[in-house]
Structure 1
Amino acid sequence: MRSQTLSVAGVHGVSIVYDVHRPESGAVGVVIISHGLGEHAGRYRHVAQRLTDLGYVVVAPDHAGHGRSGGRRLGVTDFRDFTSDLHTVIEQTDRGDGPTFLIGHSMGGAIALDYALEHPGVLDGLVLSGAALVPGDDLPGFMVRLAPVIGRLVPRLPATALPASAVSRDPNVVAAYEADPLVWHGKIPAGLGGALISTMATFPDRLPSLTTPTLALHGGGDRLANPEGTRMVGRLAGGDVTVKIYDGLAHEIFNEPEHDAVLRDVTEWIAAHRPEGRTPPD
């Protein structure tokens, strides 16, 4: 694949850096990748390679306050900023007359779902990977209720850290994650945590209006994002929805030992949901 790095001004003038990966021959569509909390788009290069091999242009931004993008590290306190920045990147992308798919992982899954709900008709398909759509079972109810308030009052208060060991069952993935200088290894600020929980609270009422075909995938052994959020999508979302829970897999299903099978499920679903027209190369 052929890659280039671009940037665009996001909300509040923050520079949003994004990669564009192109297939060697003519493109048949576009796939956007929305990464998770504390990480960056470069961790999805292997996913981009799989998709460009099938003829898709892959566009992968670093969210504000993440990776190479500008802004205070994990300093976003209004979740709509992420969705607005994503929309700006999509609007900047030459999508031609092919389909557009959006893949969102973890917090990026919440961003992707929020985007699909706010911009119906833009996407031809939505793929959610270990999406963070409901609070964890280990978070007491009173903390769920208080988190948005605390986030507004003391947004920079360090709240909790993500244990690297829960990212994947592959020790090499965990080691690379821990050594990656573009990954945030500190605690999540209360402002961002509260903003995410506030957005989570909106999904049950909004999901019935989802019209974008959706594939919702989750590791059954995920300790970072509650699989119940993915099951909720299956129960409440309108339209064409497929849910698959992979028994025993950890949070980053694209980085698990079984990632080939997971990526095959994704690419086969995308192929099955392409509108009539150009087809990927053999």
Structure 2
Amino acid sequence: MISEERSLQGRRGRTIVYDVHRPDADALGVVALVHGLGEHAGRYGHVVERLTSAGYVVIAPDHAGHGRSGGKRLGVNDFSDFGADLERVIGGVQRDGLPLYVIGHSMGGAIALDYALNNPDELTGLVLSGPAVVPGDDLPPVMVKLAPVLGRLLPWLPATALPASGVSRDPQVVAAYEADPLVWHGKIPAGLGGALVGAMTSFPERLPALRVPTLALHGGADVLANADGTRLIGELGGGGDVTIKIYPELFHEIFNEPEQEQVLDDMMAWLAEH
């Protein structure tokens, strides 16, 4: 594997840092790997290794306000900024006609789904891991309606924090997450929280237009992203080629659970079929 760190200017002038990982042999396809809220692309080294070993070029950006990229931490108040930055990153890599796939985790799953709905003819396949598609059951309906408004009025108001214990059943993964200086460990600002909720509420109406072949995977014991969102993709996804798999015992980061090899095997098999 040959890796290169690059950067470019994002939609609002923030520096977006991303990695391009190339396989040692001829490439079969290109994968854009889209990380979740508060984390960064560097946490996916083992996923990148599986993909490059199978012949895929992997593009792995840090979102604006995340990881190595510029901007105030988690300071994105317009959800469409993520998709616009992702489009610039993908456009900055020579693909030579190779098929393009997007893999998105958690909030990155919402970004990837939004990207697929906006660019249906560009993608060969979409893979979602614990995607944030519908609000959690603990968020009252009134707050679902108020969150985008509050985010616009008071974007820097601290809203909620993600409990690290919900990331994985592997204590070593949780410890590494808590010790990672590039992971955001504070509360989510209302601006980003409201922007994400706003995107979520748009999906039920938009999902029937999904035409990209899709694999959606979710941990059945996920307390950070509602698995009903993945089930909703299976119910409403309009493209016909939608595969849903729920792993009953797994927590949020299914690529970092003790059963990660099975999850990765399932993903790689689906990619090979598509």
Task: Report the TM-score range of the alignment, normalised by the length of the smaller protein.
Answer: over 0.9
Q: CA deviation at 1:135?
A: 0.3
Cα distance in 1 for partners of 2:44, 2:60 equals 8
CA-CA distance at 1:19 after TM superposition: 0.6
Task: Report the 3-state secondary structure (helix = DSSP H, G, I; strand = E; otherwise coil) of the residue aligned with 1:201.
Answer: helix
Shift of 1:238: 1.0
Report the residue type matching 1:158 in the other structure. Answer: P
* 2:122 paired with 1:122: yes
Q: For residue 270 of structure 2, what is the aligned residue in structure 1?
A: 269
Give 3-state SS (helix, strand or coil) of 1:12's partner.
Answer: coil
State the match for 2:21 in structure 1.
Answer: 21
What is the Cα-based RMSD across aligned positions, in Å? 0.6
Distance 1:131 1:6 in 2: 27
Which residue pairs with 1:229 in the alignment? Answer: 229
Question: Which whole-Å deviations, capped at 9, do the CAs of 1:149-182 have from their partners, x for residues lacking one?
Answer: 1101100000000000100000000000000000
Moved over 2 A (4+): none
Deviation sequence 1:101-136 (CA, Å, 0-9, x none): 100000000000000001111110000000001000
Amino acid at match of 2:250: L
Q: Count residues with an aligned counterpart.
A: 273
Deviations, residues 57-85 of structure 1 (Å, cap 9, x unaligned): 11100000000000110000000000100
For 2:13 and 2:148, how far apart are their aligned partners in 1? 25
Question: Which residue number corresponds to residue 255 of structure 1?
Answer: 256
TM-score (norm 2): 0.99
Q: TM-score, normalised by structure 1?
A: 0.96
Whichever residue aligns with residue 270 of structure 1, its letter is L
* Residues in 2 aligned to 1:96 and 1:243: alpha-carbon distance in whole angstroms: 31
Structure 1 unmatched ranges of 5 or more: 274-282
Return 5+ residue gaps in structure 2 as ranges: none
Q: How far 1:93 sits from its partner (Å)?
A: 1.3
Amino acid at match of 1:89: V
Give % identity. Answer: 69
Partner of 2:109: 109
Which position in structure 2 is the counterpart of 1:3? 3
Shift of 1:99: 1.0
| Corresponding residue SS for 1:11 | coil
Q: CA deviation at 1:97?
A: 2.0
**Partners of 1:236 and 1:80 in 2: how far apart?**
22
